[in-house]
Amino acid sequence: MEQPFYKQSSQEVLANLTTTREAGLSQAQVQDRLETNGPNQLQAAKTSSIWQKFVDQFKDLMIAILLVAAVVAAFTGELTDAIFILAIVIINAVFGVFQETRAEGAIQALQEMSTPNANVMRDGRDQEVSAPDLVVGDIVYLEAGDVVPADLRLLESASLQIEESSLTGESVPVQKQDAALPDEDLPLGDRSNLAFMNTNVTYGRGVGVVVATGMDTEIGHIAGALANTAETKTPLQENLAQLGRILTYLILGIAALTFVVGMIRHQESFLNMLLTSISLAVAAIPEGLPAIVTITLALGTTRMAARHALVRKLPAVETLGSTDIIGSDKTGTLTQNKMTVEKMVVNGQVEDVANTSELTGTAARLADIMALNNDTKRTDEGLVGDPTETALIAFNENHGRNLDELFAKMPRQDEIPFDSERKLMATLNPAPQGYLVTVKGAPDELLKRVTQIEMNGEVRPLDDEMRQRLLQINGDLARQALRVLAFAYKLVDKKPAEMTSEKVETDLIFAGFVGMIDPERPEVAQAVAEAKSAGIRPIMITGDHRDTAAAIAQRLGILDKNDLDTAVISGSDLDAMSEEEFADRVTQYSVYARVAPEHKVKIVKAWQDRGKVVAMTGDGVNDAPALKTADIGIAMGITGTEVSKGASDMVLADDNFATIVHAVEEGRKVFRNIQKSLQYLLASNLAEVISIFVMTLLGWNILAPVMILWINLVTDTLPAIALGVEPAEKGIMQQKPRGRTASFLSGGVGPAIIWQGILQAVIVLSVYGFALAFPDHHGEELVHADALTMAFMTLGLMQMFNAINVKSVYGSMLNRQAFANKLFNWGLLVSLIAMAAVVVIKPLNPIFHVSNLDPYQWFVVLVAGISVIVIVELVKLVQRVIFHKG
pLDDT tens column, 328-339: 888 777 888 788
Q: How confident is the model at residue 599 (pLDDT cuts 50, 70, 90)?
A: confident
Q: How confident is the model at residue 674 (pLDDT cuts 50, 70, 90)?
A: confident
* Highest mean pLDDT pick, 41-50, 469-478, 658-667: 469-478
Which pLDDT value is given to residue 355? 74
Give yes or no for a contact between 320 and 733, defined as CB atoms under 8 angstroms apart: no
The residues, any chain, with a CB within 8 Å of residue 373's CB and separated by 6 or more, are: 425, 426, 427, 438, 439, 440, 487
The residues, any chain, with a CB within 8 Å of residue 474's CB and separated by 6 or more, are: 443, 444, 484, 486, 513
Q: How confident is the model at residue 767 (pLDDT cuts 50, 70, 90)?
A: very high
Domains 235-307+666-883 and 340-517 share a fold: no
Cα 110 to Cα 40, 146, 854: the distances in Å are: 13, 17, 73
Provide mean pLDDT across the span 382-388.
Answer: 83
Q: How many CA atoms lie within 13 A of 603 on its CB side?
A: 35
pLDDT tens column, 566-584: 889 988 888 888 888 888 8
CA-based nearest residue to 490, from 445, 441, 435: 435
400 exposed, middle or buried (CB, 10 Å; 0-12, 13-18, 19+)?
exposed
650-652 vs 309-311, strand pairing mode: antiparallel
Q: What average pLDDT does the structure give for the chain?
A: 82
Fold that domain 5-44+109-228 belongs to in CATH = 2.70.150
CA-based nearest residue to 99, from 204, 229, 231: 231
pLDDT tens column, 223-237: 776 665 555 555 666
> Of 19-33, 174-188, 853-867, which gets the smallest average pLDDT?
174-188
Q: What's the CATH architecture for 340-517?
A: 3-Layer(aba) Sandwich (3.40)
Above 90 in pLDDT, residue 469? yes
pLDDT tens column, 184-218: 778 887 888 999 988 888 778 899 999 999 888 88
| Top-tier CATH class for 235-307+666-883 | mainly alpha
Which pLDDT value is given to residue 819? 77
Give yes or no for a contact between 107 and 226, defined as CB atoms under 8 angstroms apart: yes
pLDDT tens column, 83-101: 766 765 676 566 555 544 3
560 is catalytic: no
> Which of 138, 146, 178, 329 is flagged as catalytic?
329
Helix (H, G, I), strand (E, B) or coil at 670: helix
For the chain, what is the radius of gyration of the CA atoms? 36
- 747-752 long-range Cβ contacts below 8 angstroms, 24+ apart: 747/675, 747/809, 748/809, 748/810, 748/885, 749/675, 749/678, 749/679, 749/809, 752/679, 752/683, 752/806, 752/809
Instruction: Place domain 318-336+521-661 in its CATH homologous superfamily.
Output: HAD superfamily/HAD-like (3.40.50.1000)
Give yes or no for a contact between 433 and 464, defined as CB atoms under 8 angstroms apart: no
Domain range list for the chain: 5-44+109-228, 235-307+666-883, 318-336+521-661, 340-517
